[in-house]
Chains A and B, each alone.
Chain A
Amino acid sequence: MLLLSYLERRKSTDPNTKGYFEKNGKALGTFFICAVGFWMILLIILPYLYMVIESFHPKLPMKQRGGPTDLVTLDQYKSFFIEPSSGDWNTTHFWAFFYTIIVSISVTFFNFAICYPVAFYLAQSGKKMNVRFLMLALVVPYWVNEILRAFSLRLLLTSKGVINQVLLAMGLIDSPIDFLGLNIGLYVGLSYAYLLIMMFPLYNAIESLDKYQIEAAYDLGAPRWKIHRDIVIPYSKPGIASGCTMVFMLCAGSLAAPQFLGGPSTLWFTSIVYDFFFQSFNWPRGAAYAFLLLSACVAFVMITLRIFKVSLGESIK
């Protein structure tokens, strides 16, 4: 601590910029560093480190760990490509992996398509009372437990569920639509789960936009959709990036919605990881798979951010 504050004092020659310890005082500054450091190291870095190390070890019972058979190996990672028991290509897991990523991307788009108009209405054009009411309506369902929410959606969407009953009663369909089997349930469930995660960064970004810019563009002759294309969306890019990144990552790693709402053909990658940990107790393989998923998602996000020219720092804001 003393070294840090000393170095800081040496570095800053500009009288206007206040160093970290100057701004916060020695005691508070030290507390912040310790608290954040504790949180980061103990709760984030150490567990991840353990998982990564685990993924490079073979599956062994407690007694044999640390013993002669406990060698560093890439077998767990290989098992993703080649099924260890049969020696064939591990198509099931492959397929599950890409399916998870594709669905996550689709859900992110779908989520964005729903949230953008709502966020815009809330931020720019809504009347005060309507805005408050809508905000409340959006937030209140989240007071309910996530699993309960997923389950209640399932009840809505089954063959005997409310939606099918209403459609049958109105005579619009002859036999119940299999929402769950068609994976519509999965999409709806995942989108709904992370609606607010997309909504709030979008809302914040759009709300900070000077509404006179929208009026100016309108006055210059721009139709509504061009105003969004040229003014609102470029301005809110960091907010959009933030929301989309979080929804994508949460989606790929989500468990409850795919479990309750996925059709019979759904094989969700995170469920596979979960099974490795809690069904077959194969922690190393589970860790390897988890790490593969994490790397793929991070790579995808970084590439997409680069394509749309948004810096990571901007999107975190």
Chain B
Amino acid sequence: MNASVQLEDLSVRFGDFTAVSNVNLNIDGGEFFSFLGPSGCGKTTVLRTISGFLAPSTGRVTISGTDMVGIGPNNRPTALIFQNLALFPLMTVSENIAYGLRIQGFSLTERTKKADELLELVALNGMGTKLISELSGGQKQRVAIARALAVQPKVLLLDEPLSALDLKLRQHMRTELRAIQQQVGITFIYITHDQGEALTMSDRIAVMSDGVVLQVGDGRAIYDNPTSAFVASFVGENNAFSGRVTRIDGNLAQIETSTGNLVGRNPKGLSIGDKAILFVRPENLNFGQTLGNVEFEAKFNSAAFEGNATHIHLMGAHGGEITVTLSRSDDFNVPAKGTSLKLSYQPALGLILADGALASD
């Protein structure tokens, strides 16, 4: 059983500080929905408001249409997995998982049986009698998930659960979490600052910054068609060139920058004279010249080998850094530092958006 979550005009204020501002969202039942944003953007506040630990200053949270006002976390059909997991250190794994059931009055045999089922679901068979202190980070993570699932919530809320794990484990848990969600079928609301996690696991993502939801969409929409400079620069790597719009040609536009005249798509319909930023993804830039492509020059700085890809860092005429990502199969001879190289990209792969704050600011 799963539930949908609606946030209507949700704002949360602490004194003078507005943590969350006018969020309007409809999360479908059974969806894996992520809130993505840098630290301090308000995503934890949203999560705690949905789970009932915080009350909205304005607006409301409804779950499957029922207004949650005045209902505490213990009475909502939600379960929260905390960032530090908050497992009970004096209880065994099995007792931790079955705690919610113990509260509900189930007998010991029933609880042990349910705990064993859940241990199997999270691939921790036979670990029921261990103490929490005997577990590794990844195992503790799974106990936390099992404990939350034991009370059969309709919505599972996860607060950056993978941030304390090492890289390999994080990657492994991404697929596992997604698999568990699809198997159990409940709504997952996941918050993270890691876009890789958000992109690989979610059905839809809401990108947040400074308490405001900037864009909602699936992974491709967010990555290929960001609607604001922040989203374009936060999700994945992106090269940014500031300038002014000088020409419009159908759905393409040209902006004049210190690096030269660059062409890109103009989905927002900016007019001539508007201040704009052109974005090109590092993987869409090529070295050399190709007919029909937009060209410009940059000075070579360094090359970083990352296994399956090589990142070339260059310095653009606009004074900013430019990154080109080449896959393993591309040839690249490392020149001397400062050598001027020609770069090009297909016009449709450039994106022109209104001038705004970038993620790195």
Contacts and interface: CB of A to CB of B under 8 A. Distances in A.
A7 interface: no
B346 to A, nearest CB: 50
Nearest to A220: B100
A216 B74 contact: no
A223 B78 CA distance: 16
Contacts of B252: none
A133 interface: no
A220 B87 CA distance: 12
B90 interface: yes
B82 interface: yes
A164 B75 CA distance: 47
Given A215-B53, A226-B103, A230-B99, A220 B147 contact: yes
Contacts of A143: none
B86 A210 contact: yes
Given A212-B84, A219-B79, A220-B79, A235 B90 contact: yes
Contacts, number: 58
A213 B86 contact: yes
A235 B99 CA distance: 16
Contacts of B147: 216, 220
Contacts of B104: 221
A210 B73 contact: no
B99 A220 contact: yes
Interface string A210-234: 1011011111111100100011001
Interface string B151-165: 100000000000000
Nearest to B52: A219
A220 B72 CA distance: 11
Contacts of A219: 51-53, 73-74, 78-80
Interface in B50-82: 51-53, 72-75, 78-80, 82
Nearest to A234: B90
Interface string B111-149: 000000000000000000000000000000000000110
Contact of B82 (A212, A223, A226, A230): A212
Nearest to A209: B89
Given A210-B86, A220-B79, A235-B90, A215 B73 contact: yes
B88 interface: yes
Interface size class of B (residues with CB under 8 A): 20 to 34
Contacts of B89: 235
Contacts of A226: 103
Q: Give the most central of B72, B74, B87, B104: most A CB within 10 Å.
A: B74
Contacts of B86: 210, 212-213, 215-216
Q: Label chain A's interface by main secondary structure.
A: helix
A50 B100 CA distance: 58
B151 A220 contact: yes
A235 B87 CA distance: 13
B297 to A, nearest CB: 54
A88 to B, nearest CB: 53
B82 A217 contact: no
B80 A216 contact: yes
A218 B103 contact: no
A221 B90 contact: no
Contacts of A210: 84, 86
A218 B82 contact: no
B99 A217 contact: yes
A222 B103 contact: yes
A124 to B, nearest CB: 14
Nearest to A213: B86
A311 to B, nearest CB: 14
A234 B89 CA distance: 10
Contacts of B88: 213, 216-217, 230-231
Interface in A112-156: none
Nearest to B150: A220
Interface in B284-332: none
B72 A218 contact: yes
B74 A220 contact: yes
A309 to B, nearest CB: 12
B213 to A, nearest CB: 24
A223 B104 CA distance: 10
B257 to A, nearest CB: 48
Nearest to A222: B103
A218 B53 CA distance: 10
B73 A223 contact: no
Contacts of A220: 74, 79, 99-100, 103, 147-148, 151
Contact of A216 (B75, B82, B90): B82
A230 B74 CA distance: 16
The 6 closest A-B pairs by CB, nearest first: A212-B86, A220-B100, A216-B86, A219-B73, A221-B74, A222-B103
Given A212-B82, A215-B73, 6 more contacts: A216-B86, A217-B99, A219-B52, A219-B80, A220-B100, A222-B74
Interface of A: 210, 212-213, 215-223, 226, 230-231, 234-235
Interface of B: 51-53, 72-75, 78-80, 82, 84, 86-90, 99-100, 103-104, 147-148, 151
5 contacts: A218-B73, A219-B73, A219-B79, A222-B99, A223-B103
